[in-house]
């Protein structure tokens, strides 16, 4: 029997012709920092490029401090984004307030660009649930990081469904790693988006390693973007270390999602220059030679060199930006470390609207332990 609470659904919506190939997006800034083709309109604005660089630099500073906090016992396990900063920065820069972000555990900078604070992120990784309660809009309606692999893709398809049938001018933007595309949840989510033509953009951050499993051992697919074709939607590959290219590809994908509910899968090619998490040791499975080669494509160095070539960033301005980033992160770390601890009883606050009888009994027993005679 149909669920009368759901809006009427068009069983035969008009669909564009199914894509037959993957689109490989042009790059704009080469490995040497030189422009290899005319920049898109937004990048003609020097302030926009400097702003992108500051976000990328902030991400690297934040990761460095977060790892240091973990190494000194002041933070739980943390997943840095070192080497792949251009992807979340380019994606978040293209999003509008009405979009909804569904991140994994490695897109902290995208969350901050959407209104979450760095000290929110630190609380989350410090095991404090208040770190997932973002105060600002639009971060308020974004999702907290998804730690299980690929389970966020069906959730994102559900968000896209709600946006479409609520007639809201927004798109769901879902991040996933290369390893996650080998799981059924990924295929189920993009299949639903294709069948129902939902405003969903899935960004695959292909950093070449699913913890210790290399890309070549994960799948025989020619590219990860090709997996979109089975769902009847467009797949796009982009240089994930070129922030201008990432931002431009996302801008086009998001406009199509918002205006014609066209879903898209974007594979951003990048490389994780750090361990998978602070519980990992990448030197056990990755060669020094491979790492040295990957460092030549560092997105921070690439954009910095480009800005220097254009006369937009001299040594003095670079030092000022570095100091600004360090001060911003230090302020966030101080706020995190000064956060008052919560009572043990707070563990009961967010599990159920109404606690089951057994948990009520445990709650009462805890109260006796804490405050009894």
The answer, yes or no, to whether residue 371 has pLDDT greater than 60, is no
372 confidence band (pLDDT: 50, 70, 90) = very low
Check: CB of residue 204 under 8 Å from CB of residue 266.
yes
Q: What residues act catalytically? A: 272, 276, 285
What would the pLDDT profile of 166-209 be if each residue is shown by its tens digit? 999 999 999 999 999 999 999 999 999 999 999 999 999 999 99
What would the pLDDT profile of 224-249 be if each residue is shown by its tens digit? 999 999 999 999 999 999 999 999 99
Q: How far apart, in whole angstroms, are the C-alpha atoms of residue 225 and residue 228?
A: 6
Q: How far apart, in whole angstroms, are the C-alpha atoms of residue 352 and residue 359?
A: 10
The answer, yes or no, to whether residue 5 has pLDDT greater than 70, is no
Check: CB of residue 203 under 8 Å from CB of residue 176.
yes
Q: Is residue 66 packed enough to be buried (19+ CB in 10 Å), middle (13-18) or exposed (0-12)?
A: buried
Share of the chain above pLDDT 90, in %: 85
Q: What is the pTM of this model?
A: 0.92
**Predicted pLDDT of residue 129:** 86
Q: How far apart, in whole angstroms, are the C-alpha atoms of residue 229 and residue 153?
A: 16
- What integer best gives the mean pLDDT of the chain? 93
1 confidence band (pLDDT: 50, 70, 90) = very low
Residues 6 or more apart whose Cβ sits within 8 Å of residue 60 = 82, 85, 300
Q: How far apart, in whole angstroms, are the C-alpha atoms of residue 38 and residue 23?
A: 19
Within 13 Å of residue 218, how many CA atoms lie on the same side as its CB? 21
CA 274 to chain centre: 17
What would the pLDDT profile of 27-56 be if each residue is shown by its tens digit? 999 989 999 999 999 998 999 999 999 999
Check: CB of residue 266 under 8 Å from CB of residue 183.
no
3-state SS, one letter per residue, for 12-24: CCCCCCCCCCCEE
Share of the chain above pLDDT 70, in %: 95
Q: Is residue 9 packed enough to be buried (19+ CB in 10 Å), middle (13-18) or exposed (0-12)?
A: exposed
């Amino acid at each position: 029997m149909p669920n009368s609470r759901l809006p009427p659904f068009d069983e035969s919506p008009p669909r564009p012709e199914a894509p037959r190939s993957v689109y490989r997006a042009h790059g704009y800034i080469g490995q040497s920092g030189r422009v290899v083709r005319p920049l898109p309109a937004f990048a003609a604005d020097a302030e926009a490029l400097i702003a992108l660089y500051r976000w990328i630099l902030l991400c690297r500073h934040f990761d460095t401090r977060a790892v240091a906090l973990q190494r000194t016992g002041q933070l739980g396990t943390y997943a840095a984004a070192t080497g792949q900063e251009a992807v979340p920065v380019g994606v978040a820069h293209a999003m509008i307030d009405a979009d909804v972000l569904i991140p994994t555990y490695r897109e902290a900078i995208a969350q901050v660009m959407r209104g979450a604070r760095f000290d929110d992120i630190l609380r989350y990784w410090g095991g404090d649930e208040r770190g997932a309660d973002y105060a600002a809009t639009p971060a308020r309606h974004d999702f907290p990081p998804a730690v299980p692999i690929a389970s966020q893709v069906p959730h994102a398809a559900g968000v896209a469904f709600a946006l479409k049938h609520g007639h809201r001018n927004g798109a769901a933007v879902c991040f996933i790693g290369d390893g996650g595309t080998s799981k059924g949840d990924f295929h189920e989510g993009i299949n639903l988006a294709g069948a129902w033509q939902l405003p969903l953009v899935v960004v695959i951050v292909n950093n070449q390693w699913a913890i210790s499993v290399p890309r070549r051992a994960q799948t025989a697919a020619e590219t990860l973007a090709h997996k979109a074709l089975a769902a009847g939607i467009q797949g796009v590959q982009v240089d994930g270390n070129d922030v201008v290219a990432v931002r431009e590809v996302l801008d086009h994908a998001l406009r199509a999602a918002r205006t014609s509910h066209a879903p898209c899968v974007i594979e951003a090619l990048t490389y994780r220059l750090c361990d998978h998490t602070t519980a990992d040791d990448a030197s056990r499975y990755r060669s020094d030679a491979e790492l040295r080669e990957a460092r030549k494509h560092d997105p921070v160095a690439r954009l910095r060199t480009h800005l220097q070539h254009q006369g937009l960033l001299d040594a003095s301005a670079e030092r000022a930006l570095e100091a600004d980033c360090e001060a911003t992160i230090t302020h966030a770390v101080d706020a995190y470390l000064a956060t008052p601890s919560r009572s043990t009883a707070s563990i009961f606050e967010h599990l159920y609207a109404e606690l089951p009888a057994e948990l009520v009994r445990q709650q009462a027993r805890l109260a006796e332990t804490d405050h009894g005679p």
